[in-house]
Structure 1
Amino acid sequence: MNGLDLQMAQKVLDGQPFSRLVGARITAFGDGSATLEVDIRPELQQQNGFVHGGVLSYAADNSITFAAGTTLGPAVLTGGFSIQYIRPASGRTLIARSVVVHTGRRQAVVRCDLFAAADDGTETLCAVAQGTVLPARN
């Protein structure tokens, strides 16, 4: 895990102004995986009452990058990612769970499943994403 733990990961996330704006939090971190959660509220919805696709993309991007950071080290950048929306997201909480599929010397490939959790805790898959993360070089 390269010296990082859940508390440090949350500190890094809190250092991102946009993450603070959406109220994101890291709820799991380590061993090639990361989970990011965002409470669903009206400000994050589109005109039909579903979570805006940009919020889902944000959650996938950050979750993918944090998961890769557990294998590549803390200084990483998203190289690119794609997302496929499966169904509209609504409920209480957006959950982005990412797992590293492969790590090499120059990049990590990470898969992310995005769920919308209802008040009773039932989770519905709403999108899947895959990304490439690179070590940051100065």
Structure 2
Amino acid sequence: MENFLARTRAALDAQPFTRLLGASLASMDGKSIELSLPLRDDLKQQHGFAHGGVLSYLADNALTIAGAMGLGKGVLTSEFKINFLRPATGSSLLARASVVHAGKRQAVCRCDVFARDGDAEKLVATAQGTIVAVDDLPDAKA
């Protein structure tokens, strides 16, 4: 698990978009993962709520990490669906994801996204996605 944790942190650190948003791995216990993100003003839409794209980013990355954990391989998102439940306000966002079912080549995962203000949490979105194993990823820098 420790090796997977280090690889996950390295993967997140290698994503420029993750660094731009300021997301980080909050926890991982072998069954679920949590990604956190401070909710800054520049991540909000015109009404002052977290932008849907930010919520979608959190769900997508959390689903993918959970899928990698379940499959034990390099993965990519095949598809995901998100339901926005209420406007997201507060000081931070937290995505919690886990594997619903993992086979040999794909995993179905679930993610709930919460808006946090202090210790209080409100469920603001829920997502489900299919994560697929990949044997060799092409080098994006080549």
What are structure 2's unaligned runs of at least 5 residues? 137-142
In the alignment, which residue of structure 1 is the partner of 2:106? 107
Preserved contact between residue 14 and residue 20 of structure 1 (Cα < 8 Å): yes
Report 1:1-138 matches (<5 A): 1=1, 3-5=3-5, 7-118=6-117, 120-138=118-136
AA matched with 1:73: G
Say which SS state the counterpart of residue 91 (structure 1) adopts: coil
Preserved contact between residue 38 and residue 93 of structure 1 (Cα < 8 Å): yes
What are structure 1's unaligned runs of at least 5 residues? none
Q: How far apart, CA to CA, are the structure 2 residues paired with 1:55 and 1:2? A: 28
Q: Provide the identity percentage.
A: 47
- Structure 1 residue 15 displacement after superposition: 0.4
Which TM-score applies when normalising by structure 2?
Answer: 0.91
- Structure 1 residue 32 displacement after superposition: 3.2
Equivalenced residue count is 136
AA matched with 2:109: V
Q: How far apart, CA to CA, are the structure 2 residues paired with 1:115 and 1:104? A: 28
Say which SS state the counterpart of residue 4 (structure 1) adopts: helix
Preserved contact between residue 32 and residue 68 of structure 1 (Cα < 8 Å): no
Say which SS state the counterpart of residue 20 (structure 1) adopts: helix
Distance 1:81 1:2, change over 3 A: farther
- Structure 1 residue 117 displacement after superposition: 0.3
Which TM-score applies when normalising by structure 1?
Answer: 0.93
- Cα root mean square deviation, aligned: 1.4
Preserved contact between residue 2 and residue 71 of structure 1 (Cα < 8 Å): no
- Structure 1 residue 106 displacement after superposition: 1.4
Residues 3-55 of structure 1: per-residue CA shift (max 9 Å, x gap): 412x4322210100000000000011242321111000011000000000000
Preserved contact between residue 63 and residue 97 of structure 1 (Cα < 8 Å): yes
Residues 31-85 of structure 1: per-residue CA shift (max 9 Å, x gap): 2321111000011000000000000000000000001111212410001000000
